[in-house]
């Protein structure tokens, strides 16, 4: 049965992912754009959705907008699910306050260990991992301006690292980035605030290596064009969204050697892993001189990541909601 699904969101990171997965399954999708108090009930009335989805942490989650969503959605009686993509780091500072103020009917989380915790609190919940969309994060012909040896697409988040000094992301930075900068092995950075990272890396990144923000839908060109793509991880027991996006775009990913990476993919076959600064330097120096092997891994990665498309994630979401009697 075809569903009408309304996503109350406007951010590029989210409107090009899971909504496309629902479209791939043949469902009708509407993206709200920026929310206003009057717009939400108007969209519900005109589109008549059978499912309403909120996700992420964006400008559409401001406190005043939470009140608008709760009022309009509860009045409509339409099932509302929230996909908690900031777990576990921001569960207490963002996810739970949002859930308590908006009161969705069901919560999906990228963090498996949060599921039983939510259920103990009386919050219906299940696990839904990140994914990628093959039309957005796809391999393209090498772009000259992105034809670099080593690249990183990510924001630095110095304020988060200062707040959470034991966060695994700091370990990831020190394993993957610091040793290369210290050895003057150039990384081309796309993202914000890398010029503020000396306190965390112990070394200053040369300004000419830093390129600033890149549009979300441009990132696949960087992944496709570079020889090696660094991928930071935030936790040992889950992977970042860019893990899937880099592999789907045909990038040769070098990331941290974690149990979750090894559960999902095979090091040396689908991607490269490092568990120490020294290993990172050795890995980079070796694979920069192995074009045939790089291409073999990139090709295998695209095949392996196909099962993690947002079409598969949307299918899982629908199945779980039907099993919980929230959808027919």
Considering the entire predicted model, what is its pTM?
A: 0.96
Cα 189 to Cα 191: distance, rounded to the nearest angstrom: 6
**Do 144-308 and 4-131+309-323 have the same topology in CATH?**
yes
Low-confidence ranges of the chain (pLDDT < 70): none
Cα 77 to Cα 33, 72, 197, 207: the distances in Å are 22, 9, 47, 53
**What CATH number has the domain spanning 4-131+309-323?**
3.40.50.2300
**Predicted pLDDT of residue 1:** 83
**Predicted pLDDT of residue 298:** 97
Query: What is the three-class DSSP state of 208?
Result: helix
Domain boundaries, the chain: 4-131+309-323, 144-308
Whether the link from the prior residue into 88 is cis, omega within 30° of 0, is yes
**What CATH number has the domain spanning 144-308?**
3.40.50.2000
**Predicted pLDDT of residue 8:** 98
Cα 93 to Cα 69, 86, 88, 144: the distances in Å are 20, 10, 10, 42
What does residue 55 show for φ and ψ, rounded to 5 degrees? Answer: -160, 160
């Amino acid at each position: 049965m075809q569903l009408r699904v309304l996503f109350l969101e406007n951010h590029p990171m989210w409107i090009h992912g899971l909504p496309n997965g629902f479209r791939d399954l043949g469902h009708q999708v509407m993206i709200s754009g920026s929310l206003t108090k009057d717009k939400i009930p108007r969209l519900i009335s005109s589109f008549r959705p059978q499912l309403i989805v909120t996700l992420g942490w964006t400008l559409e989650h401001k406190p005043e907008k939470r009140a608008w969503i709760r009022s309009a959605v509860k009045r409509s009686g339409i099932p509302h699910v929230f996909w908690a993509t900031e777990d576990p780091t921001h569960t207490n500072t963002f996810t739970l306050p949002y859930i308590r103020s908006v009161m969705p009917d069901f919560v999906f989380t990228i963090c498996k260990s949060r599921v039983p915790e939510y259920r103990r609190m009386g919050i219906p919940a299940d696990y839904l991992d990140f994914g990628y969309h093959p039309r957005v994060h796809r391999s393209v012909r090498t772009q000259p301006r992105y034809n670099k040896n080593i690249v990183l697409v990510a924001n630095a988040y110095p304020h988060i690292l200062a707040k959470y000094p034991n966060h695994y992301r700091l370990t990831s930075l020190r394993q993957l980035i610091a040793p290369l900068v210290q050895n003057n092995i150039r990384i081309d950075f796309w993202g914000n605030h890398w010029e503020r990272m000396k306190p965390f890396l112990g070394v200053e990144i040369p300004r000419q290596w830093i390129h600033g923000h890149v549009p979300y839908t441009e990132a696949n060109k960087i992944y496709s064009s570079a020889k090696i793509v660094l991928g930071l991880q935030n936790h040992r027991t889950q992977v970042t969204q860019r893990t899937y996006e880099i592999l789907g775009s045909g990038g040769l990913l070098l990331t941290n050697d974690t149990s979750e990476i090894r559960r999902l993919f095979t090091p040396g076959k689908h991607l490269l892993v490092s568990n120490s600064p020294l290993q990172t330097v050795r890995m980079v120096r070796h694979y920069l001189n192995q074009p045939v092997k790089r291409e073999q891994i990139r090709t295998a990665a695209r095949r392996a990541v196909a099962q993690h498309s947002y079409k598969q994630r949307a299918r899982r979401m629908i199945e779980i909601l039907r099993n919980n009697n929230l959808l027919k």
